[in-house]
Amino acid sequence: MSPHSLFRWLIASCASVLLLGPAGAASPPSGQAAAPPPGMARIWFYRAMEPYSSLATPFVRLNGAVAGVSQPGGSSYRDVPPGHYHLSVDSYGVDFGQTRDVDLGPGAQVFAKVVSDDHWIEGGGGGRGGGGYHRDTFYVWLYPVEAAWPVIAQSWFYGGGSLTAALPSY
């Protein structure tokens, strides 16, 4: 390989990295930006990217209203007025402990991890390794900021904002 072609290859490689590098994950807000607006509370939804977890994208809900979509390896938040909230995620299976209830004051933040169990309901296949099915079952688990933030910081950030309209009281 001549020095001229090596130089051209190196320039093309660097240009590719510069152009494609920013297409990765958008980082969640940090520091002061992570605080909810005055008089509001913040609910974070996040989901770790795990090798054997479901890739389904169910709705996450606050008091029954759609608040967003749970993405594998993603996070988002909703700023809400202080009050009582029922956190849930759409799920094929129904199990105990799938939802959480929280009471939030002004300035409070809660971190809700969406966890999947994609083998809770499965069958078929006749035991020969062919066919078969499994249905996704999702859970909402609450974690302290010390456990949640490292996962959120490494996730794709899908945005946030206020969710005040269409929130039925629970």
More confident residue, 126 or 10: 126
pLDDT in tens, 36-66: 999 999 999 999 988 878 888 999 999 999 9
In a domain, 104, yes or no: yes
What is the total count of domains within the chain?
1
Residue 3 — pLDDT band, cuts 50, 70, 90?
low
Domain that holds residue 156: 33-162
Q: Is residue 79 part of a domain?
A: yes
Residue 95 lies in a domain: yes
Domain-located, residue 84? yes
- Say what the pTM is: 0.73
Q: In terms of Cα–Cα distance, which of 112, 119, 115, 120 is closest to 139?
A: 115
So what's the pLDDT on residue 165? 47
User: Which of 12-21, 39-48, 92-101 is predicted with the least confidence, judged by mean pLDDT?
Assistant: 12-21
For residue 17, is it within any domain? no
Confidence of residue 70 (pLDDT cuts 50, 70, 90): very high
**Is the residue at 169 inside a domain?**
no
Q: Average pLDDT for residues 81-94, to the nearest whole number?
A: 93
pLDDT above 70 as % of the chain: 69
- How far apart (Å, rounded) are the C-alpha atoms in residues 99 and 104? 16
Please give the residue that has the higher pLDDT: either 159 or 170. Answer: 159
Is 21 contained in some domain? no
Average pLDDT (57-80) is 95
* 3 occurs within a structural domain: no
